[in-house]
Structure 1
Amino acid sequence: MGRLTGTALLLVLLTAVSPAAAVDGLPVERARLESGARLFEAHCVGCHVNGGNVIRRGRTLKQAALEKAGLADPEAIARIAAAGIGQMSGYGAVLGEEGAAQVGEWVWLQARSGWPRPAQMEPLP
């Protein structure tokens, strides 16, 4: 499989982790995750590729690192995305309140999923 774009990867991820969302009639949840993924790609991926950190290696978005830092839930991640922490500036002005929450939800989902890479993903049917 070739390299997936962010949007294609998102669709593969959403199909893999939330196949019941459409069946259960939860398009809002899927839309929130899609929005969070797009916002992450636009504003965060430059430093946090695959949940890593190109500036400070120990400050990743991997589940163990988030838990160690006391950021083990979407709300805590959203607060950091909006206000910043340490060397990281806050992005609240560009994300907006709802956008920061969506990024927090998407990052937490990715962290709990081990930040799957395209080679680990199943293609869409």
Structure 2
Amino acid sequence: MNSKIGAYVSSPLLAAIFTLSAPNLASPPVSIAQPMPRGAALFEKACIGCHDMGGNIIQPGATLFTKDLQRNGIVTEDDIYNITYYGKGRMPGFGEKCTPRGQCTFGPRLQEEEIRMLAEFVKSQAENGWPKVESYAD
């Protein structure tokens, strides 16, 4: 009788373990090259007009590709954050406390956390050669 109880308990238990541990074949694989969906959505909202696919339509030598970033002294996420927050040259700043006013965007300002997400997204995209992101929407 003990072996019958073991069979009744082990079969459903093994089925549950197998079901939970099997890969989910219905879901598409997540790409490591497409990180930070919120940062991507912010990029589409605030940056893509000038920097589509990492380029720069205003100043071609100041793209968001690693070679241009490094040549222009922008190496870290903090560097990207600072330029995005305060602006530099022809790029307006987007930070809430950006000054002087003429250097800052006349459009909506971004919160510090949003600029951090943008900096992380831009750095990651630059390191990966600006791979296409399927959808910038959240």
Between the aligned partners of 1:95 and 1:72, the Cα distance in structure 2 is 22
What residue in structure 1 maps to residue 30 of structure 2?
15
What residue in structure 1 maps to residue 55 of structure 2?
52
TM-score, structure 2 normalization? 0.62
What residue in structure 1 maps to residue 71 of structure 2?
68
* Partner amino acid, structure 2, of 1:101: R
Deviation of residue 18 (structure 1)?
Answer: 6.3
- Structure 1 segments of 4+ aligned residues over 4 angstroms from their partners: none
**What percent identity do the matched residue pairs reach?**
37
Q: Please tell me whether residue 102 in structure 1 is matched to residue 105 in structure 2.
A: no
**Aligned-pair RMSD on alpha carbons?**
2.3
Residues paired across the two proteins, number: 95
Deviation of residue 63 (structure 1)?
Answer: 0.6
What residue in structure 2 maps to residue 89 of structure 1?
92
Structure number with higher helix proportion? 1
Between the aligned partners of 2:45 and 2:32, the Cα distance in structure 1 is 22
Give per-residue Cα distances to partners, 1:67-115, cap 9 Å, x unaligned.
1111111111011111101011101132211111110000000000000
What residue in structure 2 maps to residue 111 of structure 1?
126
TM-score, structure 1 normalization? 0.69
